[in-house]
Amino acid sequence: MTPPRPLRELTRPELAVLLPELLLAGHLIDRAGMPHAIGAFGLDGMRDIAIEEWMGASPVYTRRMQRALGFEGDSVEVIFKGMQLDVGAPPQFMDFRYVVHDHDRGEFHLDHCGALMDVEPMGDDFVVAMCHDIEDPTFDATAIATNVRAQVRPLHRPPRTPADRHPHCAWTVTIAADHDPLPIPEIATRMGRTHAAQVDLSPIDPAEDGLGHYAGPLLDDLRFGDWSHSALVRVAEEVCIQGHLLALSFREAVRARATDDATVEGIARKQLAGIAGLTSERLCAALDLPADLEGAAQVLLLHPALLPSAYVDATVTLDDRLVLRLGRSDGATADAAWPALVDADHLAPLDALLRGVDARLRADVLSSGPDELVVEVVTDDDPAPEADEVALTRFSTGAEFAFVDRGTPVAIGPRPA
């Protein structure tokens, strides 16, 4: 059997294909988790969980990406660069278009909002909850990671009138000395103390071919094939950390409303199962992986639930059988992040991940203890039915979304006076 390759051994073209998939997977975490939040706490509870979830994670991972790619600053342009590398705005699915007027003023609109396409059929109450109640505080929370006096305000937004209004929404971003500075949300402060927030990831080699930083002008689109190998590895790792931070923040928000730990863990595991299965399926298609043990081994090494390796101790071996070992002395376990939710008594999320490759696959425990969980991936004779958690996540239009090459990026600069 062909051994699987870890993230760092993928080629530049493979990484360029993988990265948008990881960004989309991070965005669809909400599609996996929110149906269960609605079931437990209703629409208002889901809305408030989403607000706290994004306000907790976004300021933390935005600053991480700025440091990683060397575009720290306090301008509108820096805010927009961060949004381009944010799981809240995966390219094309959330098709942000930017205008920079000057250091302190800019605009953006969405030519396509995949999130709107997901909730619009559910009615105006859901649209208002997302496009008004959730977006107002969470856009500001993202912006203040760059400048505490930044404000994001709507020019127009859904519900759409007329029903086919385009662009889907439009916003201004303004920085002004007379704006009251907004504090970093308390939940973001807590997220900032996690191992996920503080983990050191792969360095970028400035001598490599390709773009190794984003210190230059804002580009209308990021064509990942233009980036260097080590930059693509680092950004992929950062995007996986974004997903872990978002899931940790989601669980904190659920915990604030749940009456017992079992409810919290149950919802978190359902979230993981939903995103795990759908992401495996998309990774197989994007990277043209086989629907067998070799494909499963490769997916296990590239799945965002089990990356980055500096945070998640996951070992995959493939010889005459496929074995996954999850160590329990890593940052993910200390944070009680996704890998910690998988144990000998709770294999459903891992089974969902494997069945995204082949519906006949499942995990069989070889050993379990305080230091590690070791499972073998086995092949059953008959395919298992799709897990309900995956079916709920598949409701999103992101499940079938296809990325396209948009050609050479164009620099966006301040408009002349």
SS (H, E, C) 85-125: CCCCCCCCCEEEEEEEEECCEEEEEEEEEHHHHHHHHHCHH
Is the predicted pLDDT of residue 415 greater than 90, yes or no?
Answer: no
The mean pLDDT of 32-44, rounded to a whole number, is 97
Rounded to whole angstroms, the Cα distance separating 373 from 312 reads: 13
Q: Beginning with the edge strand found earlier in the chain, give each strand of the sheet holding 372-379 in spatial order.
A: 314-318, 322-327, 372-379, 361-368
Rounded to whole angstroms, the Cα distance separating 310 from 390 reads: 28
CA 214 to chain centre: 20
**What would the pLDDT profile of 284-293 be if each residue is shown by its tens digit?**
999 999 999 9
The mean pLDDT of 14-39, rounded to a whole number, is 97
**What would the pLDDT profile of 301-311 be if each residue is shown by its tens digit?**
999 999 999 99
Closest by alpha carbon to 304, among 26, 15, 13? 26
**What would the pLDDT profile of 49-102 be if each residue is shown by its tens digit?**
999 999 999 999 999 999 999 999 999 999 999 999 999 999 999 999 999 999
This prediction has a pTM of 0.97
**What would the pLDDT profile of 218-258 be if each residue is shown by its tens digit?**
999 999 999 999 999 999 999 999 999 999 999 999 999 99
The 10 Å Cβ neighbour count of residue 226 is 15
Is the predicted pLDDT of residue 2 greater than 90, yes or no?
Answer: no
